[in-house]
Amino acid sequence: MKFGMTGPRRAYLLLAALIVCAPAVRASGVSEQAFSDWYGDIANRFAVEDVQNTGLTVFPTLSIPIGGEYEAMGTAYTAGARDVTFLEANPAASSDLQYTELALFHNNLIADTNMEGLGYTTRLEDFGVGVGGKFLHVPFTEYDDFGIQQGTARYLEAIVAGNLSYNFFNSFYFNGVSAGANVKAAYRGIPEQIAPNQSAAGFMVDLGLLSRFNLLKFYPSRDRNFSVGTVIRNLGPNVLGEPLPTNWTSGIAYSPFRPLLIGLDVTVPMTPFSPLPAEPVGYATGIAVTVTDFFVMRSGFQLKGGNPRITMGGSVTVQDMTVTVNYTLDMTTQLTAFDRFSLQAGFSLGDRGRGDRQARIRTLYLDALQAFAEGDLERTIELTQQVTDLDPTFQPASETLQMAQRMQSLQQQMDAIRSGPAAETSQPSDAPTPDTTDGTAGTGENTSAPADTAAP
């Protein structure tokens, strides 16, 4: 009798443990005071009390990560973006993603303050598109001196974004340079009884570049292991005299070994349309470890605006669904409350047939190499032409095709040289034999007699 479990069943159990045990880890014998002291020591190391010029921008929702791998890696995702959360990290990444994705997000921030999100992206060869949004809502309830509810109100912020990107110079040997943009609209609704005439809307863009290549790679794979990216986020005009949280972020991502991804970002805040000073430079770093084919662990650290933030989380994949759970420690974390958790449910909707086409290309190319090794040049040319028809950027097939065509041409020339002299010296079998005995030629008749039979 076997007591083992199948892959999907193990994934379901791991997901349940991830969700159920995370709160227990959070509250396992750690007091609020102990956490405050520990976090305070971290904050003091970075001299956060000396940080100035924070909180001067509008739409704070733009600076709060919605969740997923972007949040789990401490937002160090500018170069490593590889799922739908690229919408917040680098708009150039949509033209380099493998799958069409749909994701739903829930982020529990503080008490009953929550943020919901939605993201979708797909890729058409070198052209990527995406849409997304997030919605923050903060309920307010008014009570009188006797504790009787008098009214309710709700502060809200909403962000929507549309994405376009294109991968230039993409080939077999070079992954290209992706350029992309997000066009975003933001709205905040503030009840009149809280702050009159403060509801507002704003518009902004994100502009990003991304390139992937191989560097110090210690494992075989067609996936590039090193990435560099840069992005300008939230570039737009002031809203009611307040600047947007514009920043310029650059980063790298490195995978020295297949299961490991390391990210590092540097963020420079800017206020290009306002005389107000910008925040200090921020930093972020993160790590992701693929433990099994269905489980990934992540952690990250971000120092931004005098608020050190530590994030940890994990993802479990079951068939085409991936569930990501993150927990964040920062100045808003309260161990006595169940908050600072985020949840993402992501769905892979296929790759538009790119995987099947690549498998077909690999099969055809291997068959072409086999035919080439056997000296069958015609078969080699036929197969490599099929490969280039399926993928013109598959340069090894083009190179093999050109080599086979040159060899075939050379072989034909050699055959022509061998047969050429024999054809020139050979005579047709029915050609007349010339007679030069009497000085005549071309008659086909021999009128001379042998010397020993001459007439007397």
Question: pLDDT per residue over 343-353, tens digit each?
Answer: 999 999 999 99
**In the predicted model, is pLDDT for residue 312 greater than 60?**
yes
Residue 147 in tokens: 């504790």
Residue 140, pLDDT score? 78
Strand-pairing partners, residue 295, are 292, 316
Side-chain half-sphere exposure of 148, counting CA atoms within 13 A: 2
Lowest-confidence region among 48-62, 110-124, 210-224, 234-248: 48-62
Q: How confident is the model at residue 448 (pLDDT cuts 50, 70, 90)?
A: very low
Residue 49 makes CB contacts below 8 A (sequence gap 6+) with: 43, 306
Provide the pLDDT for residue 449. 42
| 437 — pLDDT class (breaks 50, 70, 90) | very low
Q: For residue 368, with 0-12 CB atoms within 10 Å meaning exposed, 13-18 middle and 19 or more buried, which class applies?
A: buried
User: What six digits make up the tokens of 333?
Assistant: 């974390």
| The predicted structure's pLDDT at residue 81 | 96
Q: At what angle do helices 395-425 and 354-373 cross, to 10 degrees?
A: 30
Q: Minimal CA–CA distance to 55: which of 188, 245, 228, 256?
A: 245
The mean pLDDT of 164-189, rounded to a whole number, is 95
What is the SS3 assignment for 176? Answer: coil
Residue 440 is predicted with a pLDDT of 45
Pairwise CA distance, residues 96 & 100, whole Å: 11
Which one of 130-134, 173-177, 221-225 scores highest in mean pLDDT?
130-134
Per DSSP, 9 falls in state H
Tell me the pLDDT of the chain averaged across its residues.
85
Mean pLDDT over residues 410-432, rounded? 69
pLDDT at position 418 is 87
Per-residue pLDDT averaged across 122-149, rounded?
A: 87
Q: Given a cut of 70, is residue 3 above it in pLDDT?
A: no
Q: Is the pLDDT of residue 453 over 50?
A: no
Q: What is the DSSP track for 408-422? A: HHHHHHHHHHHHHHH
Tens of pLDDT along 211-222?
A: 999 999 999 888
Residues 219 and 259: beta-carbon distance below 8 Å: no
Of 104-108, 118-122, 442-446, the least confident? 442-446
Residue 243, pLDDT score: 96
Spatial neighbors of 188 by CB under 8 A, at least 6 apart, are 58, 59, 155, 156, 157, 158, 198, 199, 200, 201
For the segment 55-82, the average pLDDT, to the nearest whole number, is 94
pLDDT of residue 261 exceeding 60, the answer is: yes
The pLDDT of residue 444 is above 90: no
Other beta carbons within 10 Å of 422: 8
Contacts of 253 (CB under 8 A, 6+ apart): 76, 77, 79, 80, 226, 227, 229, 261, 262, 263, 264
Q: Which residue has the higher pLDDT, 425 or 152?
A: 152
Q: What integer is the mean pLDDT of 280-287? A: 95
